[in-house]
Amino acid sequence: MIEKPGLTLYGLFIVMALLAAAALLLGVAVSSILVLLLVYAALAYSINFITGMIGYVDFGHVLFMAIGSYALATLVSHYEANPLLGVGLGALLGLVFALGIGLVILRFRGVYFAITTVVLVLAAYNIVLQFPQLGAGGEIIVNLTFQPLATYFTIWTIVLIEIVLTYYVNRSRIGFGIRAIKNEEDAASSVGVSPRTLKLTGYMLGGLFGGAAGAVYAWSISGVTAGPAFDFTFSLLMLAMIIIGGVGTSIGPLLGAVVVYIPSYFLLTTVAQAQPLIIGLLVIIMALFLPDGIVGLLRRSNEHLRLVLE
């Protein structure tokens, strides 16, 4: 079923190459600005495995990000481990938690799933406050020498893996199965697709990469605090990124990450609330009028783009 890779993948590779070159050539200042963009992109691709592919709206994806952040922060601050080990542990814990949680909550469909994800984040937040080992709500400081390039290329690698994986999953047998679930779960199971396994696979991929991205985020901001780590704004921004970019596509999450990131960069200094405000408005407009996001808009506007964009 796998065909020759199309222009979309090459285009994404070029963007990634430019991002790598920018960090190497333009130095620390640029890479410390772009690292957040890449964290956004990594998170957008990770939630895309769940919401984008299976079609289940996940409001609580920040849970996996927080798990990753705490994994790295605890490992580095208590055991003085290499931060890369922290990223690995974040990814692993994200995967394990996704397996455990997914086994239970993927049985709930549609809105029931969506609501359960919200509730889980709040429960997890209240539980973390109980543990002095996890800072009991205070900050765990990650005390490392400033290594912007190491952080940058870790998250760069994660995004690159996500892009390739998204692209091939979308084109493969698994991708067809997953899209079948998205359209009609009961019909899918009656023609031999196993929704349980596929949904769990998507959810675990989401957990894995969400955890990894969260770990790098904690690394880049040198610590983790319970309040911001479980902040719904982040969770909502991730969802906003794929809704704006194009849910389920290979290129949409990156487009969405750029759109969400730009106001945060330019407006943060003036009005902190301007970013979520604008993003909220964009999501409303997108959801009501352009349900397939920027990618859908581009596809409809141009016959050539329709064939190329994935």
Partner 1 sequence: MVAADLVVRDLVFGLLLGCVFSVVAHGLNIIWGIVKVINIAHGEFIMLGAYGAYFLNLFAGLTPLEAAPVDAAIGLLVGYAFYYTFLHRELRDKETITLQSEMVTLAATFGLSLFVSNLAIILFTGNPVGINYNPGTLQFGYLHVPLAALYVAILSVLIITGTWLFLERTFIGSAIRAYAQDVTATELVGANPAKVASLATALGFAVTMAGGALLTVWIPVGINPLMGALYAPISFVIVVLGGPGKMWGSLVGGLTLGVVIDVVQAFTTVEIAYAAAFLILIPVLVFRPEGLLKR
- Half-sphere exposure for 120 (CA within 13 Å, toward CB): 23
* Residues making up the chain, counted from first to last: 310
User: In whole angstroms, how close is the CB of 287 to partner 1 at the nearest point?
Assistant: 4
| Nearest of 150, 130, 156, 129 to residue 15 by alpha carbon | 156
Q: How far apart are CA 253 and CA 257, in angstroms?
A: 6
In the bound state with partner 1, the residue whose beta carbon lies nearer, of 55 and 90, is 55
Phi, psi dihedral angles at 108 (to 5 degrees)? -85, 135
User: In whole angstroms, how close is the CB of 75 to partner 1 at the nearest point?
Assistant: 24
In the bound state with partner 1, the residue whose beta carbon lies nearer, of 130 and 133, is 130
In the bound state with partner 1, the residue whose beta carbon lies nearer, of 285 and 307, is 285
User: In whole angstroms, how close is the CB of 27 to partner 1 at the nearest point?
Assistant: 34
- Contact residues toward partner 1 (CB under 8 A) are 55, 57, 59, 104-105, 107-108, 110-112, 114-116, 118-120, 122-124, 126-127, 129-130, 232-233, 236, 239-240, 243, 271, 273-274, 276-277, 279-288, 291
Query: Between helices 232-245 and 252-267, what is the axis angle to 10°?
Result: 130
Q: How far apart are CA 24 and CA 29, in angstroms?
A: 11
User: In whole angstroms, how close is the CB of 17 to partner 1 at the nearest point?
Assistant: 33
User: In whole angstroms, how close is the CB of 160 to partner 1 at the nearest point?
Assistant: 28
Q: How far apart are CA 152 and CA 220, in angstroms?
A: 8
In the bound state with partner 1, the residue whose beta carbon lies nearer, of 88 and 177, is 177
In the bound state with partner 1, the residue whose beta carbon lies nearer, of 42 and 286, is 286
